[in-house]
Amino acid sequence: MAIRWQEQVCLLTGASGGIGQAIAYKLAGLGVSLILTGRNADSLSALMASLPGQHTLVCADITTEAGRDKVVAVCHDRHISMLINSAGISETGDFTTTPAQRIDTLLLTNLYAPMALTQRLLPLLQRASSAYVVNVGSTFGSIGFACHAAYCASKFGLRGFTESLSRELASSNVGVFYLAPRATKTGINSAAVVSMNQALGNKVDPPERVAEALVSQLERNKARWFIGMPEKLFARLNGALPELVDRALAKKLPVIQRFLTSATKEKLL
């Protein structure tokens, strides 16, 4: 059945971010009522003021129990039918020198928080006639890319969580979706990552492309959606014939290391 966008009430995490804002504009334009979350109150307020329609803002750190309590309380009052987990952080560099605390925060933000929010909001979503959970993953949730060990671990985990839950809820009113952007022009990417992408010739999408993809994915009811070629193909190839991708990426390793290992050293100084 076609989605009735104007009847949807959506909790959007990471709404203050590049991809989150693009999703907010796209969905608000379709008539969705949004609950916008993030930690940056100023950018959330500015976003809310610029969107068409009536929306709610909740400023919270979703890596804390108290932050999630705050978000869930607002969702209880609003009869949500859609959850989009877009909040995320990145970490690049040599794995051996990545501070353990950064790995903790990354796994909490990118993997544990979406799982915990989904678990707590499912009873509310199950009350809607049709409900949707979209987890924003990454191409790096299917391809282990050098100098991204913790980030890849979090997104591989998110993909596994999404697939399992999607199959568990297959006969229910809740659809569970995995959306995998490739490199996208937002603040999550450090200057070093931007330079590496240029040197490798990696394509970089505007965040609006991710928002468009999300709408197409839900309208076509596709459990998984990978954005862009050749990334889409490489993600599949890595699943079937990882040795081929090992070889292709080994050729790129000197370039990756040139940008990302020195960036890590600079950050740690």
Ligand X SMILES: NC(=O)c1ccc[n+]([C@@H]2O[C@H](COP(=O)([O-])OP(=O)(O)OC[C@H]3O[C@@H](n4cnc5c(N)ncnc54)[C@H](OP(=O)(O)O)[C@@H]3O)[C@@H](O)[C@H]2O)c1
- 14-25: b (≥16 Cβ within 10 Å) or e: bbbbbbbbbbbb
From the CA atom positions of the chain, what is the Rg in Å? 18
Should residue 194 be labelled a site residue for ligand X when binding is judged by CB under 6 A?
no
Should residue 235 be labelled a site residue for ligand X when binding is judged by CB under 6 A?
no
Helix (H), strand (E) at residue 226: strand 224-226
Beta bridge partners of 11: 35, 83
Among 109, 118, 217, 264, binds ligand X (CB under 6 A): 109
Smallest distance from ligand X to CB 7, Å: 25
Should residue 38 be labelled a site residue for ligand X when binding is judged by CB under 6 A?
yes
Over the window 62 to 101, marking each residue x when it contacts ligand X by CB under 6 A and - when it does not, the resulting string is xx----------------------xxxx------------
Residue placing its CB nearer to ligand X in the complex, 160 or 170 = 160
Collapse the DSSP code of 79 into the 3-class scheme (helix H, G, I; strand E, B; otherwise coil) and give the result.
Answer: coil
Q: Is 151 a catalytic residue?
A: yes
Smallest distance from ligand X to CB 203, Å: 11
The dihedral region occupied by 228, where left means phi > 0, alpha psi between -120 and 50, and beta the remainder, is left
Residue 262, both tokens: 């020195």
Should residue 116 be labelled a site residue for ligand X when binding is judged by CB under 6 A?
no
Tell me which stretch binds ligand X (CB under 6 A): 2-10, 14-22, 50-58, 163-171: 14-22
**Distant-in-sequence, close-in-space partners of 44: CB < 8 Å, separation ≥ 6:** 15, 16, 36, 37, 38, 57, 59
Residue placing its CB nearer to ligand X in the complex, 8 or 189 = 189
Backbone φ, ψ for residue 177 (5° rounding):
-125, 145
Among the listed residues 25, 112, 132, 151, the single catalytic one is 151
Residue placing its CB nearer to ligand X in the complex, 3 or 211 = 211
- Binding residues for ligand X, rule: CB under 6 A, are 14-20, 38-40, 61-63, 86-89, 109, 136, 138, 181, 183-184, 186-189
Catalytic residues, which ones?
Answer: 151
